Copies of this chain bind each other. A is one copy, B any other.
Amino acid sequence: MIVNRNLKFGQVLFYTWKSILYYAVLSVLVYFLHHELEIDDLSVPFNAVALLSTALAIFLGFKNNSAYDRWWEARKIWGLLVNYSRAWGREILTLSFAVEGDPSGELDAWRHRLIYRHIAFVHALRVFLRGRHEYNNIDEQWIETSNTYDDIRPFLSAAEAEEVLSKENPPNYLLMIQGRELLEAHRRGWLSDYRFVQLSQTLTEFNNHQGKSERIKNTPFPRAYSFFSRVFVFLHGTLVPFAFVEVLGIFNIPLALLINFIFLSLDQIGERTEDPFENRPSDTPLTSISVTIEQNLKEMLDETDLPQKTEKIHGVIF
């Protein structure tokens, strides 16, 4: 998530320089052909371009709207994960009661285990989501962050960590283990039937948060929409230098570039926003949220050695 109010020129160029170069060369070429070689037929009536511009602007509006919705939904899901993680901590600590004859410390150990395993779940889900699909063709970014499953080891026993990491879907498997531990607590008498089901429902919330995140991750914005938006921007942009070349002369070059830069940007900001889990600067800040959850839950356990808040780097919080 970019938090600096102003983007740097270099960041903008990082993703658009190829297209801008193309439009610059084209503008110069059109000017040269028209005014130097005097090929007059090169001009395209402005009206034809304007007709496309309106349709394109509406289409890009739709695309940006949908991209933002995906990004914001991703943030909402992880917001819910924060809320229910705090509720999970509170419920584990207040809904389980010791019974007569418990060996000393067993309930406390159980509580500690269920809260730490939940922290592991959150980190595991982050790493799971930040993996990249080969078909998304994500290029190198100007800034990245690290996400590895080693981040979950401090919160699990060594054996459990090995077992979990051997699975196809580690976060889901962690929820399964949590369910088994609840069953065990019920058998021990720490949970009544009613409080047991209540905690099981909270696990179902986590099933939902995971599944909803996976949905966004695994379902790209329909390719037809984004493919054609790129194609339309390109076709429209290619016509633009021809539209004013006759009237404007050499000033046509900066003006055509300006117009193309704006349409190109409108397309690109949607493109960056629509996939929020790709380990890019415009991502939903999963790392930062994971650390907040870890911090909150450790504080509930009265621990004092809390993790540091994620700092912004180059104006970005991951």
Tell me the A residues contacting B by CB distance below 8 Å.
Answer: 1-7, 41, 44-62, 64-66, 68, 71, 75-76, 79-80, 82-84, 86-87, 89-91, 93-95, 97, 133, 135-137, 167-169, 172-173, 175-176, 179-180, 182-183, 187, 192-195, 197-198, 200-201, 203-204, 207-208, 210-212, 214-215, 219-220, 222-228, 232, 235, 243-244, 247-249, 251, 255, 258-259, 262-263, 265-266, 269, 272-273, 282, 285, 295-296, 299-300, 306, 312, 315
Contact = CB atoms under 8 A, between A and B. Distances in A.
14 contacts: A5-B137, A41-B249, A44-B248, A44-B255, A55-B263, A80-B211, A82-B211, A82-B214, A90-B179, A93-B179, A94-B180, A97-B187, A194-B194, A198-B200
A93 B94 CA distance: 21
A262 B56 CA distance: 9
Contacts of A285: 219
Contacts of A296: 168-169, 172
Nearest to A70: B72
A138 to B, nearest CB: 10
A232 to B, nearest CB: 6
A166 to B, nearest CB: 11
B87 A299 contact: no
Given A51-B259, A61-B62, A135-B4, A45 B176 contact: no
A215 B285 CA distance: 11
A46 B61 CA distance: 23
Number of copies: 5
A84 B208 CA distance: 8
Contact of A51 (B49, B65, B90): B49
Given A3-B135, A79-B212, 9 more contacts: A48-B255, A51-B53, A54-B57, A59-B64, A82-B214, A91-B200, A95-B197, A194-B197, A225-B269
B169 A299 contact: yes
A56 B214 CA distance: 34
Nearest to A263: B55
A19 to B, nearest CB: 15
Nearest to A96: B183
A64 B62 contact: yes
Nearest to A76: B215
A215 B1 CA distance: 13
B83 A262 contact: no
B5 A223 contact: yes
B3 A52 contact: no
B68 A222 contact: yes
A227 B82 contact: no
Nearest to A41: B251
A133 B308 CA distance: 17
A94 B176 CA distance: 9
A289 B78 CA distance: 22
